[in-house]
Structure 1
Amino acid sequence: MVPAALVPDTATAQERPEHSASPTHYPVVPTTAPGTSVQSQTYLFLNDEEAAFIEAAVARLIPKDEQWAGALEAGVPNYIDRQLAGAWGAGERLYRNGPWQPGTPSQGYQLPFTPGEMFRTALAAINKEQSTTDRPLATMSSDEWDSYLRSLEAGEKDLAGVPSDVFFAHLWQCTLEGFFADPVYGGNRDMTSWRMIGFPGAYASYYDLVDQHGIKFDRLPTSLGEDVHGHVHVNPGIPASSP
């Protein structure tokens, strides 16, 4: 469960490979270094307490290392916030008329909450619980955070009517989506996860390569929202797949 940063996109059109018979090879380089700061973020849905938990949690679910950014540095909280503020968070595709009772695993999500309500309810319960302890989340070590997240994953807590394992499953799914989805959805900043795994992204055409076999495709990744200067424009109107 636990374990698998942030720089501006500096790849310009001049740095990208030209269409030619021989593909240009680019070295795979890390996108951040230890100690890189995280950009300040204005959230659309999350309040300060909720954002603090989400930021700390995703930083443990996919932590940074000495070479690559983690979920926090890649902007995953921004992705989660946009999803909660949009159609998915509002439950626009959910059946909302009950009956509300536990279902089988094959029946999927069975709670009366929209995803936005579910996150808000669970996070409020977590913060309320932590306000009464002598070891608040803000002071916990990495190991203590991992232990706390495992307790949520195991369903050991009732978060004001939200089973903690249901909340954790959605948090984990959103973290994965935000880390690996196209940056146009608000996460995967600087396409850091794509650089890490060697995924090329949304190139419109591979025509110059279709008759070449056995070569390594090693280009800088490109986003759906990237302009000719290599800048990614996040589009808040584009829905992402829901967890």
Structure 2
Amino acid sequence: SATAQAAPASEPASGNTAAASDWKPQFFNDREWAFINAAVARLIPADELGPGAKEAGVPEFIDRQLNTPYATGSIWYMQGPFNPDVPKEMGYQLPLVPKQIYNLGIADAEAWCQDKYHKTFAELSSEQQDEALGLWESGKAEFKQLPASLFFTYLLQNTREGFFSDPIHGGNKGMVGWTLINFPGARADFMDWVERGERYPFPPVSINGERA
């Protein structure tokens, strides 16, 4: 897997959610929004086990995260010096905050797709999209403004966060991520089942009291 630098975790953004198809992006422009929807749909695709990241509202989750202090790295030390060649255990080593990583990363990704396939990422076949994502993850693709593997790392991490976080943050709609892994959610008490050696029998519950 790819990750030259460890990506700091994002901070939850709370608020009411809308259906993924109804969400109007606040951070991304139309071109970026098309990219995000297409990319997360391949990172966690819908299959026989259930809906994927796009259906779960992950694009909305990411868009909302990029309108929080997380997007500007407000609590990160950003004074340098930065040395991207040190081990990832030494922490984040680039002068870019998440909103810059997404803006620059999507621009580079789309330019790379145009150069290789003569299409936008959203216009590619599923097989071509998977090929592109694999090359970005491995660092074999050359981006102009930041490492391709760094952009992929953030995109994958935020996709996972959106798929498995509480629905209050915009993703995991219908608690599809929790249902997939049989996570009970925000139930007040499930300790009676911890030592039974049985599958937990009740569906997940969200912070707002919604039931799957």
Q: 1:130–1:136: 8 Å Cα contact kept in structure 2?
A: yes
Q: Pick one of 156, 159, 163 that aligns with 1:172.
A: 156
The structure that is helix-richer by fraction is 2
Give RMSD over aligned pairs: 2.5
CA offsets per residue over residues 125-160 of structure 1, 9 Å max, x none?
Answer: 223344455233233111110000011101123433
Structure 2 residue aligned with 1:161: 145
Aligned-partner Cα distance in 2 for 1:167–1:204: 37
Q: Pick one of 191, 200, 204 that aligns with 1:217.
A: 200
Amino acid at match of 2:168: V
TM-score, normalising length from structure 2? 0.81
Structure 2 residue aligned with 1:191: 175
Structure 2 residue aligned with 1:41: 23
Aligned-partner Cα distance in 2 for 1:123–1:212: 47
State the identity as a percent. Answer: 38
Post-superposition offset of 1:119? 1.0
Structure 1 residue aligned with 2:96: 113
Structure 1 residue aligned with 2:69: 87
Partner of 1:156, secondary structure, is coil
Structure 1 residue aligned with 2:123: 139
- 1:41–1:212: structure 2 CA closer, same or farther, 3 Å change rule? same
Q: Pick one of 132, 150, 158 that aligns with 2:134.
A: 150
Structure 1 residue aligned with 2:40: 58
Aligned-partner Cα distance in 2 for 1:139–1:112: 32
Aligned-partner Cα distance in 1 for 2:190–2:211: 21
Post-superposition offset of 1:58? 0.7
Larger Rg: 1
Question: Gaps (5+ residues) in structure 1?
Answer: 2-36, 233-243
Aligned-partner Cα distance in 2 for 1:46–1:134: 22
CA offsets per residue over residues 83-136 of structure 1, 9 Å max, x none?
Answer: 111111110121111123323221232111111111111112223344455233
Q: 1:49–1:127: 8 Å Cα contact kept in structure 2?
A: no
Post-superposition offset of 1:214? 5.0
Amino acid at match of 1:85: N
Post-superposition offset of 1:66? 3.1
Aligned-partner Cα distance in 2 for 1:66–1:171: 24
Aligned-partner Cα distance in 2 for 1:93–1:111: 15
- 1:210–1:76: structure 2 CA closer, same or farther, 3 Å change rule? closer
Matched, 1:127 2:110: yes
Aligned length: 193
Q: 2:42–2:129: 8 Å Cα contact kept in structure 1?
A: yes
Q: Pick one of 166, 169, 180 that aligns with 1:182.
A: 166
Amino acid at match of 2:206: S
- 1:131–1:143: structure 2 CA closer, same or farther, 3 Å change rule? closer
